[in-house]
Structure 1
Amino acid sequence: MLPTPDLSDAAPEARAIELPWCNYGARRQFSGRAVTVKCFEDNSLVKALVGEPGEGRVMVVDGGGSRRRALLGDMLAEQAAANGWAGLVIYGVIRDVDEIGRTDLGVQALGTVPVKTDKRGEGQQGIALHFGGVEIAPGDYIYADNNGVLVSREAIAGG
């Protein structure tokens, strides 16, 4: 995969999610079709989805930007990698970063916190998300690396 700056040059219609991402997974560059989740301080849907076949897709999680509860930890990251997810883009925070850094998975998040989420079974899946100045729809193409995260309605050549 080309770096996101080259992909952006090749496809100016691709939109950058305008947030200060940190790259945590062992897979420093990743891409795939978006599976969308909206949840707030409750990762019940994330937990359920990482148990399903990822098929090289990217889970995009709108956690409302909360920095109080981690939406991903080492056990869920390991399960996601084992089930073939390319990565997760989390508008929120994660924990267990040392272990996640050794897991063959792409993970972009806003930061870290040691506190786990509540499990209330709340959230939505398969809806359009709006954060960082961008709309992300289920099935959009996600491209991520140390430069940031791009969203495109169509696949980008070299991506």
Structure 2
Amino acid sequence: MNIQTADLCDAHEGKLAVVAPMFASYGGRSAFGGPITTLKLFEDNSLVRKVLEGPGAGRVLVIDGGASMRCALVGDQLAELAVNNGWAGILVYGCIRDSKAIGEMNLGVFALGTHPRKTVKRNIGEIDLVVSFGGVSFHPGHYVYADEDGVVVSASALL
């Protein structure tokens, strides 16, 4: 899949939501996209593991981590799990860690930044609900596309 968000914006003007420019790319795959699965949690990545243990089937996990910059919601072990289970990418409204290792994996990973501290494990969070950040709402089953130019969201598949 050849993803170019600028071209998608041109071809589908008015039909896409464009996320505010806030993310950095950390994965080995700089462009990715697919159907959205969402998580809403705060400084607890227990549900991230549970979701990534399931088949990805080319989906993108969108994690609303409340923009916390105090710990990492995804590390190399979770990223490897995502690769092994066929996830296209992970978009984290929060931090990741093990960025060097993640950068060598065939996975798209966008996040606000990095942090070396891991999360607590309380199994608290919500799966597959509408989450909003960056001026955009992410609906489970809608589509997200990301590359070096940014992140866009569509109600239907564009590629």
Q: Fold match, TM over 0.5? A: yes
Supply the distance in 2 between the matched residues of 1:148 and 1:62 (Cα, whole angstroms).
Answer: 17
One-letter identity of the residue aligned with 1:148: G
Match of 1:23 among 22, 25, 39: 25
TM-score, normalization: structure 2? 0.96
CA contact (8 A) 2:36 2:62 kept: yes
Q: How does 1:57-96 map to 2 (within 5 A)?
A: 57-96=59-98
Q: Given the alignment of the two structures, is residue 133 of structure 1 paired with residue 130 of structure 2, yes or no?
A: no
Once residues 131 and 118 of structure 1 are traced to their aligned partners in structure 2, the CA distance between those partners, rounded to angstroms, is 23
Aligned to 1:122: 124
Runs of 4+ that moved beyond 2 A: none
Contiguous gaps of at least 5 residues in structure 2: none
The alignment yields a C-alpha RMSD, in angstroms, of: 0.8
Aligned 8 A contact 2:94 2:111 in 1? yes
Give how far 1:154 is off: 1.3
The answer to whether residue 34 in structure 2 is matched with residue 4 in structure 1 is: no
Cα drift, residue 142 of structure 1 = 0.6
- Percent identical: 50
Partner of 2:57: 55
Residues 12-21 or 83-92, more deviating:
12-21
Kindly indicate whether residue 42 of structure 2 is the aligned counterpart of residue 40 of structure 1: yes
State the partner residue of 1:98: 100
Q: Give the whole-Å Cα distance in 1 for the aligned partners of 2:129 and 2:34.
A: 17
Find the aligned partners of 1:43 and 1:19 in 2 and give their Cα distance: 24
Give how far 1:20 is off: 1.3
How many residues align structurally? 157
**What secondary structure sits across from 2:73 in the alignment?**
coil
Cα distance in 2, alignment partners of residues 66 and 46 from structure 1: 15
Give the alignment's TM-score, normalised by structure 1: 0.96
The one-letter code of the counterpart of 1:106 is G
Decide whether the 8 Å contact of 2:33 with 2:143 is kept in 1.
yes
* Distance in 2 of aligned mates of 1:142 and 1:104: 18
